[in-house]
Structure 1
């Protein structure tokens, strides 16, 4: 892969689930060193901290767990058990080595996760809901697997909030969610450089009604 900014441009160009699976499988081995470190990627930590501050119940599902960065922060903050799902088996192999998840399983939010309705008390996701990953329709599957009253916190790329239909999606969920609010978040730390260094977004925080 190239530098962290090149990686992001490639990610945002992805269109299909198969494209995502192949890309992240190829990226998995070097993700933490070639992207997280180079770009000073802080989003997973920040999303996890906002989520924990809201008082989630367990078990928790980490949606789009990747290499396990959210899970590491949740574990450090005493939240568990946590399960993780991702479309990429290669990423899940890396997450498993961090030894912070009760269970890890492959899943596609645009299909149906291998999980019963209401199986989780809470759900969290960092870096999954954006133009190149999962669009607004994926929110429905998160709602399905979380029980009534469960806390959900999802990061959403700021550039795509309106253009990809996330604003319209959450407006349409009135009556299905409670306490909806948006927390602004910066994706990268002070060491990040390049075109994406100042990228920002939102953490959508709400409960299933």
Structure 2
């Protein structure tokens, strides 16, 4: 009986040491991954990286991580001399494969990501004298309100939408007011201020935008992909 108690104590001690070593190893790996993402993306500070699953050491031995969560920072896109800034792209990578020498991550079998686009940033990216705000819902879908600056047409407002196409975000006016369609060139001038698209080429490879929802607090963006390459 005494021998059994000693054995149980040893098992508990060894198990505790293994857990401690495993947690130290995963923390070091998270810090290293965060540094690589910071350097590859040119971020001012290292993002938050969290490696899920236990034990971590056995995952490393198999060169495959169950799940990795990463705060990839902001994404920027330039169009017509204006920069669109998308805040805090957060991604979850599943079934992540490590390189043969364990020095880098090769790819993830699948990934999902979310981000938020503020109306202030959308306004700034749309050009001078244009304002973009929340426009309520129509048919259950969120809309945006776009206020272009057109001479002789004060307080002009049109409803529009923000949509996703691959790695591109598009802002479009849904229709042109009747009063403007009667004036030569007016519709074109409105479209110049209301219709824009921005290619988000800083997204991890094979991660594509699939849903955009306009709400009172901003535009929510989601993306999914398979065989996704992690930055860094």
Same fold (TM over 0.5): no
Which one has the bigger strand percentage?
A: 2
The higher radius of gyration belongs to 2
User: TM range, normalised to the smaller chain?
Assistant: under 0.3
Q: TM-score, normalised by structure 2?
A: 0.20
**Which structure is richer in relative contact order (CA contacts within 8 A, separation 6 or more)?**
1
Which one has the bigger helix percentage?
A: 1
